Amino acid sequence: MKNHFKYSYIIGLAIVLICYSCGVSKYLPEGEVLYTGSEINLQAQEDTLNTKKIKEELLTLLPTSPNSKFLGMRLGLYYHFKAQKDKPGFINKWLNKKIGEEPVYLSDVNTQRVEELMRNRLDNRGFFYNKVSSEIKTTPKYGSVTYSANLPQPYRLENFNIQKDSLPIYKEIEKILTDTPIKAGTRFDLAVLKYERERIDHQLKQRGYYNFNSDFLIFEADTNHYKTPKFDLLLRLKKNTPQKSIIPYTIDSITVYPKYSIEDTSTIKETTVVNGIKFIQENEFFKTKRLKPYILFEKGQKYNANTAKLTSNRLSSIGSYKYVNIQFKEKDTTANTDDAGSLDMDIYLSPLTKRSARIELQALTKSNGFTGPGLAISHSNRNVFKGGETLSITGNFSYEMQLTGSDNNSSIGGGLTADLIIPRLVPFSPSLFKDNVPKTKISLGVEFLSRTDLYTLTSFTSSFGYLWNENKYVYHELTPISINYVNLANTTEEFEEILDENPYLENSFEQQFIAGLNYKFTYNELANEEKTNPIFLETNFDIAGNTLNLLSGGKETAFGLDYAQYAKMDVDVRYYHRWENENTFIARAYAGIGVPYGNSTTLPYAKQFFSGGAYSVRAFQIRSLGPGTFYSEDDDTTSYYDQSGNLKFEANLEYRFPIFSYVKGAIFADAGNVWLTYDVETSDDDSEDDIAFIEELNSKGKFSNNWIKELGVGVGFGLRVDIQSFVIRLDLASPIRVPYYEEGERSRIPFFDGGDNNLMFNFAIGYPF
């Protein structure tokens, strides 16, 4: 008890000393008073008013904010004053650079100007004849301001009319006003009136009014007919509005230049007309029947600003053009005396370079701990079949070593992939999508991987699918045909022993022929820099083997090969909170499950889930967690294959902050594991050791109601070198909870308990999420 009192006394004394040392009043210049902030008191004569919202709006008019405080201390101001001394010292100068703040004095606050701004804002919100006053409260060193506003009854709308006129534009405006937010009984609000002018202008531009402008509209408020706070509202066009602004325009001609270049001075061009649209190009650079569906205008159609924007976006999305320039030109102005005008529409398309090659020297780091140099060579041919198609061929070669673990395994890998991107749905009609350009992707590839002293894997892949953006946040990728064949060869005795000792692993390697359907949905707000709290969500669905099962009549082989049957799904959700100076907090949750059925008793090895490593729970080695509380006592090579499952949960918290220039810091906490949702079956051929292994795997690796107690948990911190989105990441982590220890012994103090296993260093390329 005495010790507790002593420690409390010491801590309290330390806090008092810190607060005293961080006092700033002694640094204030003579005659100056430190500004500590303002408050606003509202008094309204109408009980139904939402004064909280009005108060929040008035607070935005305060031009001056006081110096920030932390636990009652103005640290930013304190270190600013300390840095002004003759010999401030390195620490004070550094802290001033990072968190220092210029002092804000009461003399900097212009209360009369603030009162004027508040009165004007309240007038604009319908509180005419309002009263605003201010009161300054001071002590010898500090001062604050209290603003008081008396809100009379607001003026509310009684009647809203549009000027009666025979001009066609008034009929269009009247139709648009059916959705107006300005209704009888609503409070006068200048911001709403400005918004309504912009809305009407936007709608008119979708109805052919090419030259219209919101400034041509005027709202007239009349309060003379009422003794109470009411007003009538009249909407009309301003006098002397140009004639050409109040008539709709139609498209008289459309001309497209599929291969436009300012430097091109050739006069020899071929002209092709398709559905009234002229295509002028040399040697048919782009097939007209392929280009026409991207143009949403037709001759004789009314001008529409949205259609023009969509047409530009669609043409840009083809992937063959670097510039898309759509120009509208008014025809003979004498036509403006009639009821309609005419426009010529010219579309200038500047192609990207047809062929491009790229060589990359890479530093590779993978989730299995292998790191090393790589070389990638790619070649792209745009508009290869004169329909906007892009053919990309990529070759890669890598040499990698496993930095974690005691065996120092190495691998040599390489591959060749060909992707054909077609900017339309094949074989469906391109008119199915108006707002975006869906694409068809056809891929073929071959890869090989040689693991030292273990095996050689050769894989062949092919796919046919579609990808499209529903809007700027939502992305879909549907692959109805996905085929993957993996050939395991040149296995060494060491690897054969691993398979013999692990029947579960042996079964997962037997079915190497996978054919199925994949679907990916992505919702991503991260690209929007204006969002303070962006969300990222991605889900994948993978189902395989059903079609082969039908074609083979239910047999276990197709085309002489064992094939896999399973369904797999995963969800990745991330929440980001951004604030000033690149500070970011991220919360992430991941869950995935795969279920084998029919022809399969286990998931193929490539489709199983793993936990632990630089992109997972960073306090544990690569793929060293799970399933459940299972832990392999064998060497690193064997355990690398043992510890997988068909169910995975993972959660991460991370705070990222800048340190200086391109160097960033992070503090994080991770939790996760994998489990099995089914019992691994034994066979008559299994040895006693095999059966014992499977029984242990089933007892410790099975998912149960105690799964939360079986999570691996760790914390850590890291440094990241972020140069224009190229990130080198160094993380140091330590476990808090180790699931494969006996219950009651799983918790530990990070960075202290655990002996040689209390620290885990991760080197990686890119952020973990």
φ/ψ of 684, rounded to 5, equals -65, -25
d(CA 94, CA 86): 15
The helix/strand/coil state of 546 is helix
d(CA 671, CA 708): 10
Maximum Cα–Cα distance across the chain? 101
d(CA 505, CA 487): 16
Which tokens belong to 240? 């002397």
Lowest mean pLDDT among 270-279, 496-505, 525-534: 496-505
User: In angstroms, what CA-CA distances link 257 with 201, 269, 287, 288, 447?
Assistant: 31, 10, 12, 11, 42
Query: Could you give the percent of the chain with pLDDT greater than 70?
Result: 89
Q: According to the model, what pLDDT value does residue 503 have?
A: 64
Which pairing describes strands 455-469 and 439-451: parallel, antiparallel, or unpaired? antiparallel
pLDDT in tens, 567-599: 999 999 999 999 877 889 999 999 999 999 988
Does residue 364 have a pLDDT over 60?
Answer: no
Identify the CA nearest to 535 among candidates 588, 575, 586, 585. 575
First to last CA, the chain: 47
Lowest mean pLDDT among 77-86, 282-291, 670-679: 77-86
Is 645 buried (19+), middle (13-18) or exposed (0-12) by CB count in 10 A? Answer: buried
Average pLDDT over residues 603-630: 89
d(CA 100, CA 82): 10
Does residue 251 have a pLDDT over 80?
Answer: yes
Does residue 13 have a pLDDT over 50?
Answer: no
Choice between 413 and 133, residue whose per-residue pLDDT is larger:
133
Does residue 642 have a pLDDT over 80?
Answer: no
pLDDT in tens, 725-765: 788 899 999 999 999 998 888 999 998 887 767 888 888 88
Q: According to the model, what pLDDT value does residue 521 have?
A: 98
Computed over every residue of the chain, the mean pLDDT equals 86
Identify the CA nearest to 208 among candidates 280, 283, 308. 308
Does residue 656 have a pLDDT over 70?
Answer: yes
Domains (ranges, CATH) in the chain?
Answer: 2-151 (3.10.20.310), 156-245 (3.10.20.310), 249-351 (3.10.20.310), 355-459 (no CATH)
pLDDT in tens, 190-223: 999 999 999 999 999 999 999 999 999 999 999 9
Q: How many residues does the chain have?
A: 769
d(CA 554, CA 552): 5
Name all contacts of 88-96 with Cβ < 8 Å and 24+ positions apart. none
Amino acid at 49: L
φ/ψ of 574, rounded to 5, equals -135, 140
